[in-house]
Structure 1
Amino acid sequence: MKLFVVLFVGLLSVVLFLYAPGLHGDFEFDDSANIIDNNSLHITALDLKQLRAAAVSGDAGPTGRPLALISFALNIYFFGMQPFYFKLINVLIHLCNIVLVAGLSSLILRRWYSLSARSGALAGLAVAALWGVHPINLTSILYVVQRMTSLSALFGFLAIYLYVRWRSKPSTEQLS
């Protein structure tokens, strides 16, 4: 498992290295309307009233995407309106997604192909590496407002991972 840990830390480091140049970019496209010009996100205290106002200040989709808006408000509260920190948080969310993709892929591949734990972990890592460096993820990381997409992926991967893990247990343990 030492090899796996070294490879996994290496993968996360490579992804961080690949996205590092983009962290110094400015706000782009929809970032203005959704973040910069949204005064409700510019909270001055961590109180429920301001966080609630931030959460309901969006008009994207039927629910307004409150979790992403709260994360933007917290970003502004702790780091100000500096794009670097917004993008850094987006990269950290992407790294969490890579961990989930590796875990989910490992579970599925081990179950589907009856792989050993080591082979499944390495195969899951390979899938996570392909997904982690794929250019399709670029906009959801370096366009700040697309954190909504990354958070959606995070909770989707987490839900599927937990479901597959639950389904992988013997039937006598599933309901206990």
Structure 2
Amino acid sequence: MRLNDSARRWMPWLLLAASVIATAAVYWPGLTGGWVFDDFPNIVDNAAIHITRGHSTLVAWVNSALSSPSSFLRRPLASLTFSLNWYFGGDNPWPFKLTNVIIHLVNGVLVFLMLRALLRLVGLRAASRAQARSYQATPANKIAGAGRRAAPASSFPATTYGSPPLDESAATRLALIVATAWMLLPINLMAVLYVVQRMES
């Protein structure tokens, strides 16, 4: 069954949404876990992170952003998000882990978009080079082109000199496969469900 143009246009996004949902389903059981290892010095035992509605001041938020004992870099952005989680959810680790999963899913979508753009760019460049070689190799251009520069490759349509080595649909499929594999890669499990590893996201 052939898909119409509208279905072909939306299919990659539907498949990407399915990948995101599948990844969320895989990680969902892990949201019930508790605090472990470095979660304690960085979050649970770090009083600067424990901002509440009665103590929400600019100074408190700045101090929380610079309160991580993990390194001299302080990881201010990650620490600030920990403070936001504590502000809205207290010491319950569930919203912290949920935030990590959401960040992971957003990163997966960004991987898809970035890889698709790069693959399309590679395909266009390869097609341009192939078009230029094809144009220069024609008998008329071999005779007339000795003292004349060839016209830019972009001025010749791809339909005349062959399809790009990696067309848009192929780039989209490959980007979708890689992004899905990355989101479901087991090595990411600890980085996502181990709350303090948000610093590495």
TM-score category by the smaller chain? 0.7 to 0.9
Deviations 1:144-169 (A, max 9, x none): 0001011xxxxxxxxxxxxxxxxxxx
SS of the counterpart of 1:60?
coil
- Matched with 2:185 is 134
Alignment pair present for 1:120 and 2:171: yes
Which protein has the larger Cα radius of gyration, Structure 1 or Structure 2? 2
1:56 aligns with 2:66: yes
Q: TM-score of the superposition, structure 1-length normalised?
A: 0.81
1:67, distance to aligned residue in structure 2 (A) = 0.5
Deviation digits for residues 102-150 of structure 1 (CA, Å, limit 9, x no counterpart) = 0111112222234333322221111101111001111111100001011
- Size of the aligned set, in residue pairs, is 150
- Counterpart code for 2:115: S
Report the residue type matching 2:74 in the other structure.
G
Matches within 5 A, 1:8-27: 8-27=16-35
The CA distance in 2 between the partners of 1:100 and 1:90, in whole Å, is: 15
**Structure whose residues are more often helix by fraction:** 1
With a CA cutoff of 8 Å and minimum separation of 6, indicate the structure with the bigger relative contact order.
2
Percent identity, aligned pairs only?
A: 41
- Where does the alignment leave 5 or more consecutive residues of structure 2 unmatched? 1-8, 125-165
Residue 103 of structure 1, aligned match among 89, 108, 113:
113
Write the letter of the residue equivalent to 1:117: E
